[in-house]
Amino acid sequence: MLKGLKQLELVANPPPDARPEVERLKAYSAPLEGRRNLLRLDFNENTLGPSPKVAEAIRAFPAEQIAIYPEYDGLREALIANLESSPAGLACALTTAHVGVFNGVDAAIHAVIHAYGSAGDTLLTTSPTFGYYGPCAGMQGMAIEAVPHELPGFVFPMEAIGAALLRTPRILMLCNPNNPTGTRLPAAQVLELAAAAPQTLVVVDELYEAFTGDSVLPSIDFRAVPNLLVLRSLAKTAGLAGLRIGFALGHPEVVDRVGRVTGPYDVNSLAVTAAMAALGDQPYIDAYVAEVLRARHWLVTEMTRERASCHVAGGNYLLLWPRRSSETVEAELRAAGILVRSMAGKPQIDGSLRISIGTTEQMQLFWQAYQAIDSEP
């Protein structure tokens, strides 16, 4: 018996292969390590952190409840109440059946594509856009049709997308405003695309809508447009990126189908507690968004004065083309304690840096360091 075990140990058999789609897949990764105690202008996060009410709710969380599986009672209702009370409001009443809860919007994207995408289907999107759509489609063996934005100005390719919809792709992914170009698509055009392709699931990723008011929710009745699904997050505005919580809003049957491919308790109790507190403190979110907009105005004014090559549209970020290599400038800014994101190698924006917008004081620190670094030969 022992002799047989020794022989087994010596045989270098490879582990079993995964599905062919996974074997072909390149894992999506992001440089998230070693970012603490630095000025984080690289991942479009809230740069100040959550509201004091969120911190208080987390501190008050009973330790013994960590041993209990999470409960979601009241969370969907809190989101609906928050949306109803916003200045734009909602076009129609929502129920809890219209809302799915996920471990961050990344998990929602994965679940949507898992539920609706199959090998041979097409995922239609724009280029460049958020990098996680492609890997999720690849996991399902989907073909990806990425339509370039129109230049100059990274204009949404409405005519080309409309033509592609005639081929009935399974999913259309719209990041609105688009990350990283900031391209904005009016709600009327989103609804036009969804109405033109009733057999295509149109997914609108609205992570950055708060900064420019681009949401389709004040205009949509999901009974009339059942093939439209809207993704929302508390990461960019409320400062909950580290706790991972996201939402999908749509027709109850679509939300139910997407929920079938997720676990029953994927969102942890601390995230639920924090989300409830954040949704109840809209003034904090509004004040942070207002400060980001002031900071963006200040930075754009300075860049314009210095004739910097940049592109500014929607979202809490902008694109800046340094005179030197974007990767070199990114590295030297990091050495100075400031994180930004190089767009090297990405279509249409190669050579640029994506700069997340924080507070005015933070952008002043960035601009001072950037000017010193990029002015060097």
SS3 letters across 40-86: ECCCCCCCCCCCHHHHHHHHCCCHHHHHCCCCCCCHHHHHHHHHHCC
How many domains is the chain built from? Answer: 2
Residue in the structure block whose two tokens are 């949401």: 215
Nearest CA-CA partner of 51 in 358, 282, 272: 282
Same domain, 138 and 96: yes
Identify the CATH number of the domain in which residue 261 sits. Answer: 3.40.640.10
Contact 98, 252 (CB under 8 A): yes
Q: At residue 255, what is the residue type?
A: V
Q: What is the pLDDT of residue 30?
A: 83
Q: What is the pLDDT of residue 3?
A: 56
Same domain, 121 and 254: yes
- Side chain identity at residue 27, one-letter code: A
Q: Where are the beta strands (DSSP E) in the chain?
A: 39-40, 99-102, 122-127, 143-148, 171-175, 201-205, 228-233, 246-250, 309-311, 317-321, 338-339, 341-342, 353-356
Residues 244 and 335 in one domain: no
Identity of residue 333? L
Q: Does the CA dihedral 311-316-322-327 come out positive or negative?
A: negative
The pLDDT value given to residue 27: 86
Beta carbons of 173 and 150 less than 8 angstroms apart: no
Question: What is the per-residue pLDDT across 233-243, written as a single tens digit (0 to 9) for each?
Answer: 999 999 999 99
Establish if 15 belongs to a structural domain.
no
Owner of token pair 């609906």: 80
**Same domain, yes or no: 203 and 227:** yes
Same domain, 369 and 343: yes
Q: For 210, which DSSP code?
A: G
Q: Where does a domain end: 280, 311, 338?
A: 280
Question: Which tens digit of pLDDT belongs to each residue from 49-99?
Answer: 999 999 999 999 999 999 999 999 999 999 999 999 999 999 999 999 999
Q: What average pLDDT score do residues 36-57 get? A: 97
Q: Does 294 lie in the same domain as 275? A: no
Q: Is the peptide bond before 180 cis (omega within 30 degrees of 0)?
A: yes
Domain boundary among 258, 280, 302: 280
pLDDT for 375 equals: 83
Residues 313 and 175 in one domain: no
Do 290 and 260 share a structural domain? no
Domain boundary among 247, 280, 313: 280
CA distance 269 to 286: 25
Residue 140 inside a domain? The answer is yes
CA 206 to each of CA 155, 232, 265, 283, 292: distance values in angstroms, whole numbers, following the listed order: 18, 6, 24, 20, 17
Question: Once rounded to an integer, what is the mean pLDDT over residues 22-31?
Answer: 88
At 1, the pLDDT band (50, 70, 90 cuts) reads low
Same domain, 289 and 212: no
Share of the chain above pLDDT 70, in %: 97
The model's pLDDT over 181-223, given as tens digits with 9 standing for 90+, comes to: 999 999 999 999 999 999 999 999 999 999 999 899 999 999 9
Is residue 255 a part of any domain in this protein?
Answer: yes
Residue 358 sits in a domain of what CATH number? Answer: 3.90.1150.10
pLDDT band at 124 (very low <50, low <70, confident <90, very high): very high
Give the residue numbers spanning the domain of 137.
Answer: 70-280
Residue 9: predicted pLDDT: 62
Provide the pLDDT for residue 31: 83
Residue 27 counted as domain residue: no
